Chains A and B, each alone.
Chain A
Amino acid sequence: DAGITQSPRHKVTETGTPVTLRCHQTENHRYMYWYRQDPGHGLRLIHYSYGVKDTDKGEVSDGYSVSRSKTEDFLLTLESATSSQTSVYFCAISESREPGELFFGEGSRLTVL
């Protein structure tokens, strides 16, 4: 199994507070992704990174920011959490762009009250 861990695994917070989710990998993979998963929807890409300090937006990036200062760490920040950001967040890594199969972290369940 790919060495990828997420923290925290569970978090409950209040509307308007900042939240940071961390993804850490030990595989030295170049590509890292943040997805959210909600009932009735496919996985939706929030942001991704193709190298240290190289990041780009996904389809649902509004309200989220990311940073990647080291190969192994990819942080997702909700500057001011809203109830619509209640979700399960998955980090994923891939070694290359092709074939580019993803390896996922265990997920972080975030509840915004």
Chain B
Amino acid sequence: GQNIDQPTEMTATEGAIVQINCTYQTSGFNGLFWYQQHAGEAPTFLSYNVLDGLEEKGRFSSFLSRSKGYSYLLLKELQMKDSASYLCAVRDSNYQLIWGAGTKLIIKP
């Protein structure tokens, strides 16, 4: 079956760095997405990786290793507003998105 694994919850301190991991087993691979979802709101697009390596976008970076079925989202200089759930999703060979259950990130002062 197809599976996306990410930690259920993580805690970090304001101003610090946190890495949220995502491992996947899917039928084929056509890209990996990270989304941010604040409580009670819609998910919003953060990043897209289709080739191995690191994609940087301001304080957020996303890394992909296709051979390992692994990605991480790196958040630097954490701010209180970064408290949210972070969703990992993989597009399979049928171009369908398979979603992880999300990682709830709690930022403490």
User: A residues within 8 A CB of B50?
Assistant: 99
Give the 3 A-B residue pairs with the shortest CB-CB distance, closest first.
Answer: A42-B99, A104-B42, A43-B99
Q: Which residues of A contact B95 (CB under 8 A)?
A: 97-98, 100
Q: Hey, which bits of chain B sit against chain A, CB under 8 A?
A: 4, 30-31, 33, 41-45, 48, 50, 87, 89, 91, 95-102
A64 part of interface (Cβ distance < 8 Å) = no
The 8 A CB mask of A79-112 against B (1 = contact, 0 = none) is 0000000000010000001111111111100000
Q: Collect the chain B residues with CB atoms within 8 Å of residue A44's CB.
A: 99
Q: State the CA gap A43–B87 with chains docked (Å).
A: 9
- Tell me how many residue pairs across A and B have CB atoms closer than 8 Å: 47
Given contact pairs A42-B4, A105-B42, A106-B41, A98 touches B31 in the complex (Cβ within 8 A):
yes
Q: Are A40 and B91 in contact (CB-based, < 8 A)? A: no
**Contact-size category for A:** 10 to 19
Q: Decide: B101 and A41 in contact? CB cutoff 8 A.
A: yes
Q: Are B45 and A101 in contact (CB under 8 A)?
A: yes
Return chain B residues, CB-CB under 8 Å to A19.
none
Asked if A42 and B87 make an inter-chain contact with CB atoms under 8 angstroms apart, the answer reads: yes
Q: Are B31 and A90 in contact (CB under 8 A)?
A: no
